Amino acid sequence: MTTDAANKNAEAAELDKLRAEIDRLDQELVERIHARSKVAMEVGEVKKRYSDNPVFLRPGREASMLRRAAEKHGDHPFPASSLLRIWREIIPAVTSLEGDLSLAIEDDAGAVAREHAQVHYAVSLDREHFADRDTVADAVLSGKHTLGIIRADINDPAWWHRVTTPNSDGRRLHVILQLPFIDGPVGGIPRDKAWVLAAFAPEASGEDITRVLVTENGAMKVVEIQGDDTAIPAWAETKGYAMDQIHVLGFYPEAVHLSA
């Protein structure tokens, strides 16, 4: 056997062994995802057993999970942005097995909301596009869809006040997330930001930003505060505001910042 032939045979043997290991790991990944999905469905059953109106989506917990994944990943050569993108596909898909999860998306001219929805939420989720942010808000308030995604460049305090004030049924919208949540070298994410709205209150992730409307001298303005909504009283005191001057829009987890 020539040297070239021997090298090729040795290479083929090594590659076959490595590819067999890859196949084994691929199967293990599938099995682990199936196991995770089974537990998620059990979580959904528990929630339905103890609540007439269970909330299946937990954006604060999701944010904490992604931060832990990024921290655990460290400086591994596999791109951290790709790892978190995989998680962003898995988490909503698995959550949808607990209970209904669907998206109402603003069909803005720049397709900002559409692109963020495509990147941040699983492709398997039901979604519907609406002509403007008002119809998105109505779709979420009515319970037709779980989440609404709209462009973030909305500087109209009156609009924010209207959709975040309880209606006759006691339902209101809350800001629960700003997109993109993964801040780093991720392809296909618009530079413009988007808001995610829900008819349930957000939960703290440990690193959050609260959005409020402040009424002063007859005018309203949007202000952001470091921390979740428990930070509002101390902030208001330092600024000299009375609590009845403050209308809470919601709060959202700070983005995960990646360098690679």
CB 245 within 8 A of CB 161: no
Cβ atoms 100, 123 nearer than 8 A: no
- Angstrom distance (rounded) from CA 136 to CA 133: 5
Counting Cα atoms < 13 Å in the Cβ hemisphere of 236 gives 20
Cα(177)–Cα(258) distance, rounded to whole angstroms? 18
DSSP state of 254: P
Which pLDDT score, from 0 to 100, does residue 163 have?
Answer: 95
Phi first, then psi: give them for residue 147, nearest 5 degrees. -130, 150
pTM here? 0.91
Element of type H or E holding 200 = none
Tokens of 86: 């995989």
**Amino acid 99: pLDDT:** 87
Cis status, amide bond into 185, omega within 30 of 0: no
Q: Please report, for residues 17, 112, 176, 234, 252, the alpha-carbon distance to residue 191 in angstroms, rounded to integers and kept in the order given.
A: 44, 8, 20, 33, 19
- So what's the pLDDT on residue 188? 62
Entry field: residues in the chain: 260
The answer to whether residues 189 and 119 touch, using CB atoms and an 8 Å cutoff, is yes
Nearest CA to 159 out of 210, 213, 199, 113 is that of 213
Q: Are 96 and 124 in contact (CB under 8 A)?
A: yes
- CA 124 vs CA 58, 59, 89, 101: distances in Å: 18, 18, 9, 10
CATH 2.60.40.10 fits 55-257, yes or no: no
**Beta strands 174-179 and 194-198, pairing class:** antiparallel
Q: Give CA–CA dist 184/257, Å, rounded.
A: 6
Strands (E), the chain: 102-106, 126-130, 147-151, 174-179, 182-183, 194-198, 208-216, 219-226, 246-253, 256-257
pLDDT (tens digit per residue) in 183-195: 766 666 777 899 9
Asked if residues 104 and 139 have their Cβ atoms less than 8 Å apart, the reply is: yes
Q: What is the pLDDT of residue 186?
A: 63
Q: Which residues of the chain have pLDDT under 50?
A: none
